[in-house]
Chains A and B, each alone.
Chain A
Amino acid sequence: MAPMLRSAKKMRKHLIEQLKSRKVEGARIAKGFKTQEDLISLNLAPQVFLFKNLFSGQVAYSQVPALHQDQIDEQFTRPNWENRKPSRRDDLWRIMCVANFNNYEYAIAAYQGLVDLRRVRDVVQKKEANEMRYKNDEGNIWYSGQYRPIYSQEAVADLNHIIEEFELENTELLWENLWRKGDDKYWSDLVQHDSLPPFNPKYQSAFLDEIREKALAEFQNARDSEITETM
């Protein structure tokens, strides 16, 4: 090993200082639950973002086009060898679906519902949830390495569940790949499906921001047109 240059040592010292000064836990805008007022004041649209983990296949939900450690802590309780707590590494979380709702109440209800259903599957009705999962020869959840495809399938089912349960009409689901949607028989009139435009995963955060802006603009337009109608 070649001896470290003085400049390299200084850089290293600087980096360690930086790391110690502030613990990086993800996008700060994603920290904490957002009420309707929060969403409006932060210029966020009535959306829910579903991120899939490329490594384990687990799905994380967010009201905001980014993830924070708190959301992971909230959504992945009761970890075990089959359902480990995923890392917050940005490069492993890829957008799976963007759900655009009719209004902020619906959006918040959907987010809350999804998080609740996650709790049900992990904690309250653990056994029932496990029974529905596809198993391998040994009786464990089917895996290839650490990847378990069943989690993303469960997330899609949960999304379907809350839309039907709460009758969230006029939702629009933008899928990263329409393949994930599954058979049409599961989905009703309440939902319109579409696919996300093709994007470079390197610039995912910018891309999702654009999606947010677009949805916000649409929401504003629709609201204005409604207001003019009523008037």
Chain B
Amino acid sequence: MSINHIKRRYQKDLTKLPKIFRNRVVKQNNMFTLPTFENKLPILPKEEYKTMTQTGYTEGDLVYITKGEHKGTISTIFRYSKEYDGLFLSDIIEKKIIPKDQWFDQQDSFLVDYPKLIPADSVKLAAKDKNDKGEDYYIVAEEVVFKGKYYDDRYKKWLPRRFVKHHEHIEVPWPNPPTEPKAGELSTEGETVFEKTWEFQSLSVPPFPSTIVNELRNPYSKHKARVLTELQARRLNKPTMPLSKEQQIYLAKKQQSETEQPTELTEEVQDFIGERIANHLNSITNPHLKAHLDALSKNTINH
């Protein structure tokens, strides 16, 4: 990237500092500036910049000031400052004192008219219309709603239509842009731009020579999900230690013992067990114990 982009990394980004530090830095910056040149409004971070359709108004629109010194005035927007979310109106001017070494040519007074920066909160969209008698009257919209889309040839863009909220039959059309877009030195003519020189025609024709893919795409990008091939995975993971003889024997035995499932008793064994129990029971003389055992034998086990 260019040097200016790199230099920005070392500059203090006011929008990212916490409020306390920000105020301090602003104070330090304003130490040697005259009070008339101090900026009272805070700077917005880039993510919070508002576009035409987010603010609801643009250059050339009428606005009504709802707060502050100039409350009640209707004026045209001269410029919208997206960094400060403020407006410069064509009628709201303040006088600033300028020291002599900063005078421009043909200046003869210390006081100079400067447009005043008005915060966007204290401003509402206004519109002018003619009533039945032909007299001008103004409408101020509390809020603005966007509906529908149309192609505006003046702006060369697709724009939504503006309506006053809760009174959606009232449309406030977009104003004429202040300057007609002129072709600059670096502009390309419309005809050349719309000339179609590429058409997708074949699945097997690459869009550009395959040798330059790595110039457009970083093959070592750390932001991509890195997938290892099997070989790479094997190389990067430690190998398993082969089992020693003792371990093998142990494991084989364990496996064997696991596979040894309990077998059913054979008839011989059953008879043997039965005989022994019968002999024991028959040898019991105590009548109470016998009665207890009888009662027990009638119990059933509920599985």
Chains A and B touch each other in the complex, with CB atoms below 8 Å apart: no
Interface residues of A (CB under 8 A from B): none
The interface of chain B, by Cβ under 8 A from chain A, is none
